[in-house]
Amino acid sequence: MPKIIIGIVGRNGSGKDSVADYLVEKYAARKLVFSDMLREALSIFVDNDMIGRVDMAWLATEMRKRYGEGVLASGMRKRVLSSREDIVVLSGLRDSGELEMLRSFEDNCLIAIDAKAETRWKRLQGRNNKADDVVSFEEFMKRENLETEKGIVDLITKADYLINNDGTQEELWSILDRLILEKKKRL
């Protein structure tokens, strides 16, 4: 059976990783996160608890300046090709090179996850995944303008599916279940 490659795009706190984790748990998918490659690289030099969103944005920007837009996509493609799972979920697409890499796989789809800014900010206050997640609402909104965030809005407009994640978790899971069922029927 060919692999289903699902890309997930969304703003900070929209629920990208929650969606990916659900697909891992329910459908034995493999979750690959673009920022994990950046975190891994930075963790060679500094402790993991010191690495925040701004640090990863800086590294991604510098790598794109030096090696081009597709540099992270190239690294992710290698990880996708080495995975053995039937469903691979790529969380955190941010630019056209990453979308192009996703589209290079025969059975692919891009899911955009969206939620109101205040909802997304509140989620971040409780998760504390990154060193700089807990910030004021004003700072949160400023970070939406980081260089690495600018392509997200464009990718959202190119998504095959747009899911609003302002509702309940059960509503989100139901939408995802229908989507996966639809993808599997097409194989």
Q: Is residue 123 part of a domain?
A: yes
Give the per-residue pLDDT at 9. 97
Q: What is the CATH number of the domain that holds 106?
A: 3.40.50.300
Q: Is residue 183 part of a domain?
A: no
Please tell me the pTM assigned to this model. Answer: 0.87
Q: Is residue 182 part of a domain?
A: no
Q: Is residue 186 part of a domain?
A: no
Q: Where are the alpha helices (DSSP H) in the chain?
A: 16-27, 34-43, 53-67, 71-82, 96-103, 117-127, 137-143, 150-157, 169-186
Per-residue pLDDT tens for 118-160?
999 988 887 766 656 778 899 888 888 877 788 899 999 999 9
Q: Is residue 187 part of a domain?
A: no
Q: Is residue 185 part of a domain?
A: no
Q: Which domain holds residue 90?
A: 4-177
Per-residue pLDDT tens for 48-89?
889 988 899 999 999 999 998 889 999 999 999 999 999 999
**Whole-number mean pLDDT of the chain?**
91
Total structural domains within the chain: 1
CA dihedral 180, 106, 79, 51 (to 10 degrees): -60
